[in-house]
């Protein structure tokens, strides 16, 4: 299987993760013109699962290093299988909430609040479990990101008042709930992988390709419960049915599948990079997606249009602090 052998290249993969994690929601925004996000989400999850199989049978099955994808799946212990599977279930619960927050409050609000909070808590959880990198520099970077999240919350609150939108507050609370859950999923998957030795993993543990497949299976299986409930009792709007889903156009379904493939590619690269960068740094850099999504929301979707000079200043400082914090997270891994 393909394995990353240098920290610098692992960081590059984490940046690709950041771009993927911060950009997939554009497909939800595109589909939302004619398609409820609860219906979009089925195609999104299918995209993730299909990609996990394709990567496992390609990159996960080529080369002489490590176990092949099928061999790796065949030897995984029950404990590690269910750990990675649980990671998928937890992620799915959090991401459904994030998707709801995006549909209510937009990308520029939902991502910095939800995913930003997940970044902060997730770095703490993953570093405590697997210490790697300079803790002082790492947590200074995290502190800067916390301030950026607070500024975004203030800006979004002011924007909601300007527009006299009550639903925006609901979106904020949903995004924060998503962030708490999202901070936990990566640790469950990382626990199933032998991060110190992808070339010769400990028996019963898995390499990133098998871990991503098991994780994706957890996402897909749990979606039958989580998304079905959400379709029947949505946060906003009328209930939707499976009949509505199957009546959708192929082109509309493919937008959702594309969203899942984009997110899944970023996640698989994050798992692959974790062997050299460590779980805390790999996860933390990937969750810099908050910055990417905020850029999409502000400059492409114009979610803060008409906010005025005060709100624009808050958004500017949010971006500066996010960038500074991410630079510190990267620097912490070189020590």
Identify the pLDDT of residue 170.
81
Residue 95, classified by CB atoms within 10 Å of its CB into exposed (0-12), middle (13-18) or buried (19+), is buried
Buried b (16+ CB within 10 A) or exposed e, 100-130: bbbbbbbbbbbbbbbbbbbbbbbbbbbbeeb
pLDDT tens digits along 4-37: 888 899 989 998 999 998 898 899 888 988 899 8
User: At residue 261, does pLDDT exceed 70?
Assistant: yes
Domain boundaries, the chain: 7-332
More confident residue, 182 or 116: 182
Nearest Cα neighbor of 216 from 99, 92, 300 is: 92
Identify the pLDDT of residue 106.
75
Q: What is the mean pLDDT of residues 75-83?
A: 97
Neighbours of 71 (CB within 10 A): 14
Identify the pLDDT of residue 165.
54
Q: Using CA atoms, how far apart are residues 261 and 20, in angstroms rounded to an integer?
A: 9
Gyration radius (Cα) of the chain, Å: 19
User: At residue 236, does pLDDT exceed 90?
Assistant: no
pLDDT tens digits along 162-217: 765 554 578 888 988 999 999 999 999 999 999 888 888 899 999 999 999 999 99
pLDDT tens digits along 282-322: 887 777 777 787 788 788 777 778 888 888 898 899 889 98
| Alpha-carbon distances of 185 from 85, 121, 206, 299, rounded to whole Å | 10, 11, 16, 30
Sequence-ordered alpha helix ranges (H) in the chain: 7-23, 25-31, 37-57, 69-75, 78-105, 107-110, 116-129, 135-163, 167-192, 208-232, 242-246, 250-277, 279-286, 289-295, 309-332
Is residue 333 within 8 A of residue 11, CB to CB? The reply is yes
More confident residue, 118 or 16: 16
Identify the pLDDT of residue 334.
57
Q: Using CA atoms, how far apart are residues 40 and 20, in angstroms rounded to an integer?
A: 18
Is residue 52 within 8 A of residue 206, CB to CB? The reply is no
Q: What is the mean pLDDT of residues 78-107?
A: 91
Average pLDDT for the chain: 88
Point out the least confidently predicted range of 138-142, 153-157, 267-271.
Answer: 153-157
Confidence category of residue 160, pLDDT binned at 50, 70, 90:
low
Identify the pLDDT of residue 108.
67
Q: Using CA atoms, how far apart are residues 284 and 183, in angstroms rounded to an integer?
A: 10
User: At residue 79, does pLDDT exceed 90?
Assistant: yes
Is residue 29 within 8 A of residue 96, CB to CB? The reply is no
pTM: 0.84
pLDDT tens digits along 262-279: 999 999 999 999 888 887
Tokens 């008042």, located at residue: 161
| Alpha-carbon distances of 164 from 18, 28, 60, 161, 173, rounded to whole Å | 33, 25, 51, 5, 17
Buried b (16+ CB within 10 A) or exposed e, 138-173: bbbbbebbbebbbbbbebbebbbeeeeeeebebbbe
């Amino acid at each position: 299987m393909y394995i990353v052998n240098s920290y610098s290249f692992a960081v590059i993969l984490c940046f690709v993760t950041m771009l993927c994690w911060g950009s997939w929601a554009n497909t939800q925004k595109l589909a939302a013109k004619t398609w409820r996000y609860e219906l979009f989400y089925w195609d999104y999850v299918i995209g993730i699962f299909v990609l996990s199989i394709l990567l496992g049978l390609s990159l996960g099955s080529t080369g002489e290093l490590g176990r092949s994808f099928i061999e790796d799946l065949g030897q995984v212990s029950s404990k590690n299988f269910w750990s990675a599977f649980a990671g998928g279930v937890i992620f799915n619960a959090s991401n459904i909430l994030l998707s709801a927050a995006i549909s209510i409050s937009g990308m520029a609000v939902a991502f910095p609040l939800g995913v930003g909070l997940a970044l902060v808590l997730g770095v703490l959880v993953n570093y405590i479990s697997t210490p790697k990198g300079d803790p002082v520099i790492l947590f200074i970077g995290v502190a800067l990101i916390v301030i950026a999240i607070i500024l975004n919350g203030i800006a979004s609150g002011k924007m909601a008042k300007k527009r006299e939108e009550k639903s925006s507050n609901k979106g904020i609370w949903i995004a924060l709930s998503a962030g708490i859950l999202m901070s936990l999923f990566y640790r469950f998957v990382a626990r199933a992988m032998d991060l110190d030795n992808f070339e010769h993993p400990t028996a019963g543990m898995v390499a990133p390709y098998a871990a991503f497949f098991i994780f994706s299976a957890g996402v897909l299986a749990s979606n039958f419960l989580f998304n079905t409930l959400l379709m029947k009792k949505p946060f906003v709007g009328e209930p939707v049915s499976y009949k509505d889903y199957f009546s959708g156009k192929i082109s509309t379904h493919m937008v959702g599948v594309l969203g899942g493939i984009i997110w899944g590619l970023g996640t698989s690269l994050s798992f692959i990079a974790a062997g050299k960068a460590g779980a805390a740094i790999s996860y933390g850099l990937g969750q810099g997606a908050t910055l990417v999504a905020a850029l999409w929301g502000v400059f492409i979707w114009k979610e803060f249009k008409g906010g005025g000079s005060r709100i624009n200043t808050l958004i500017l400082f949010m971006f500066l602090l996010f960038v500074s914090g991410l630079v510190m997270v990267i620097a912490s891994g070189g020590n």
